[in-house]
Amino acid sequence: MRKCNFIDLFCGCGGFTQGFKQAGYCPILGVDMWQDATKTYKYNFPESALINEDVTKLTSKDLLDASGMVANDIDVIIGGPPCQGFSISGKRMIDDPRNILYKSFVQFVGEIRPKVFVMENVPGLVSMAKGTVKDAVIEDFSLRGYNVSWKILAADDYGVPQHRRRVFFIGLNKDVFGDTCFKFPVETTKHKKITCKDAISDLDFISDKEALSDESSYCLPPQTEYQKLMRENSNVLWNHVATIHNDKTKEIIAMVPDGGNYLDLPQELWSTRKVHIAWTRMDSSKPCFTIDTGHNHHFHYKENRVPTARESARIQSFPDDFRFLGIKTSQLKQVGNAVPPLLSEALATEILKYIGN
């Protein structure tokens, strides 16, 4: 029996793909225009074809030719179209020209006709324009023959040590599934969260004075079941390189307690950074806040430094054998932009129940 296959549009470094692969699927094509991310993708998924190009310059034939498949052979198309035009921090314009990338995703699904599609985006899309945007998304896919279900999911409800909320739209092809609608998987860690300390305490052996190479060795044994899971197939520690801060920055970070933020500093220091998330430490007893793309405002729960790319990857639920390529700032951006693999795996596993039937 063949494995279910999938195409990942806007694949980035491959967080979405990693989750589907962990669930037993075969990645046949990744598409993204950011070269740093696609180099990481190709390194970690050598079995998959890859197109490093703007999707608006591609046709469905291009995708099928690259994957070596015909339309009826594609099981799933997944992707998170860049969401600037939908973001709650943007202008909330329904006709924002940046949404052409979303329209491209819709077009590919409509022309290739996979059994299932999965689209990820920011939660703000749901309430935007009093729900008009959400309704438009559902209508776009419904008109192309899909029964669409949607839900805002929190990653920490599915074993990810991070409170990251995203909306997922999942469509089942009516020609394959009739009137069946997808039901989202039950939360697995809703009442027992994986904490920051659960995730990265075995990586606490570097300090803010060290800068290790991109390839190093573990110095501590795994201390939690989550750490054992992340280290399962790994003998080498990749991407665990500390950022060296100046003495003044370290002095300020040291004033912030575990789980604290700028409000724990003397008031004359509040304006040293002009964003409300500044000087925020992880809380070792809770899942992490949403990992960003490396803006250096968030700090380790104990050490006086920002998290390493590997620590951020752990908090995103990337296994340790997943290696990020590029300079450190690029690695952090790749991690921050990704769909958490364990959340992706939960969705992929649930989808298999439908495709298998």
Q: Is 11 a catalytic residue?
A: no
Number of helices followed by number of strands (H, E) in the chain: 13, 11
For residues 72 and 78, give the distance between their C-alpha atoms in angstroms, rounded to a whole number: 16
Closest CA to 7 of 151, 241, 58: 58
Cite the DSSP H helix spans in 215-298: 225-230, 247-254
CB contact set of 190 (below 8 Å; sequence gap of 6+):
157
pLDDT at 131: 86
Q: Which of the residues 13, 83, 196, 288 is marked catalytic? A: 83
Three-state secondary structure call for residue 183: coil
What does the pLDDT look like over 48-62, one tens digit per residue?
999 999 999 999 999
pLDDT at 161: 98
> Would you say 165 and 111 are in contact if contact means Cβ atoms under 8 Å apart?
no
Strands (E), the chain: 5-9, 26-32, 49-52, 76-79, 116-121, 146-154, 165-173, 215-216, 237-238, 280-281, 298-299
φ, ψ dihedrals at 348, nearest 5°: -60, -40
Residue by residue, pLDDT tens for the chain (357 residues) are 678 999 999 999 999 999 999 999 999 999 999 999 999 999 999 999 999 999 999 999 999 999 999 888 999 999 998 766 655 444 444 566 667 888 899 999 999 999 999 999 989 888 887 888 899 899 999 999 999 999 999 999 999 999 999 999 999 999 999 999 999 999 999 999 999 999 999 998 887 666 567 888 999 999 999 999 999 999 999 999 988 888 998 999 999 999 999 889 988 887 777 666 788 999 999 999 998 876 677 899 999 999 999 999 999 999 999 999 999 999 999 999 999 999 999 999 999 999 986
pLDDT at 84: 61
Cα–Cα distances (Å) from 263 to 175, 189, 246, in that order, read 56, 31, 21
Closest CA to 287 of 205, 191, 199, 166: 199
pLDDT at 138: 94
- The pair of structure tokens assigned to 59 is 């046709």
Sign of CA dihedral 59, 63, 64, 66: positive
Pairing of strands 165-173, 215-216: unpaired
Cα–Cα distances (Å) from 310 to 40, 86, 110, 298, in that order, read 14, 29, 38, 15
pTM strictly above 0.75: yes
- The pair of structure tokens assigned to 52 is 């490093």
pLDDT at 125: 86
pLDDT at 197: 97
For residues 267 and 285, give the distance between their C-alpha atoms in angstroms, rounded to a whole number: 26
Which residues on neighbouring strands pair with residue 288, listed in sequence order? 162
The single-letter code of the amino acid at 187 is E
Domains of the chain by start residue, with CATH: 5-186+339-356 (3.40.50.150), 196-337 (3.90.120.10)
Strands (E), 155-259: 165-173, 215-216, 237-238
For residues 142 and 157, give the distance between their C-alpha atoms in angstroms, rounded to a whole number: 29
pLDDT at 152: 98
- The pair of structure tokens assigned to 230 is 């992340």
Closest CA to 346 of 223, 208, 187, 119: 187
Cα–Cα distances (Å) from 257 to 237, 281, 312, in that order, read 28, 7, 20
